[in-house]
Structure 1
Amino acid sequence: MIHPGTEPETISAARTGNPEAFAVLYNEHATEVFRYIRGRVRDEHLAEDLTSETFIRAFRRIDSFTWQGAPVAAWLVTIARNIVADHFKASRTRLEFAAGDYLDLESDRVEDSAENAGLRELAAVEARETVERQLRALPPMQAEAIRLRYLDELSLSETAAQLGRSVGATKQTAFRAVASMRARLAVAA
């Protein structure tokens, strides 16, 4: 049996594939990792998901962990910090829309009715109208940055060239525009 509190032995056992040993690590550190992540993201469900991802990544990489005298929690929090950073980096570059507007459900669809096709078209029109309404509320430079970068799907350097600005300034403009749109959508919801 693996006893809590004996981290070097627990890590050694977990590296050999002992699920009980990894369970001890999880039980000892899950709350601490969750608190760390929860302090950085506003959504409790997202914090739970990112905590799970932290332990999945730790499980996959346990064989590369080298004991250096520091607590295992430090290693787990480092993984969590990287996962949170990855999450925020990814969210900066995407506009979020309802997934149903863009999912291709052809493989799951037995029969496509005219009603379903009409509902999908209505949802697409509503999504386009929402985006256009949000773009009209932005300052002109921000709106143009969003149109070029995300709607016209230009690269960051192509968008910067079109706007006559540096890549850094363009990236910041697009980031501020997306943040502004997201804030207005959150208030409207």
Structure 2
Amino acid sequence: MVREDHARLTALYDAHAAPVWRYVVSLTGDHAGADDVVQETLLRAWRSPRIMNDDPGSLRSWMFTVARNLVIDEARSARRRHELAVDEVPDAGRDDDTDAMFDALLVEEALSTLTPDHRAVIVSAYYGGRSVAQTAEELGIPAGTVKSRLHYAVRALRLALQERGVTR
């Protein structure tokens, strides 16, 4: 039985694969896709004993109809609509920076509510990455004053952010 099935499938392929493939390529212009459609068409014909027993002309006509329907189904499929062929593989995706941008705007707005002295120590120490001694030297004030201003500036900044909906 297996040899008989193999012989039938081989005969079916030899008689009809090339014309069906050319037909599918003329419909789609896709050589690789045509191979898949021909394979599915031959498989459907082989699985349908009634079709296999028809005369060769009606069998080929049936196969062209099946192939055309497979091409139409593929064109209508969701997979086809969402896939785009590209010449080059795109670069790896990167994270969206929108949240970081909004956070930065929010902090900038909150910083603008601080007094100039408090804002200066925050910017120098936290954003400038300077130590208390370096901040004191840069601003020309004692280190103790820098510590005090940082303490009150952070409290004021926290309050300003809470007023804008930022919660801890």
Is the structural similarity TM-score above 0.5?
no
Q: TM-score, normalised by structure 1?
A: 0.36
| TM-score, normalised relative to structure 2 | 0.40
Q: Which is higher, the Rg of structure 1 or of structure 2?
A: 2
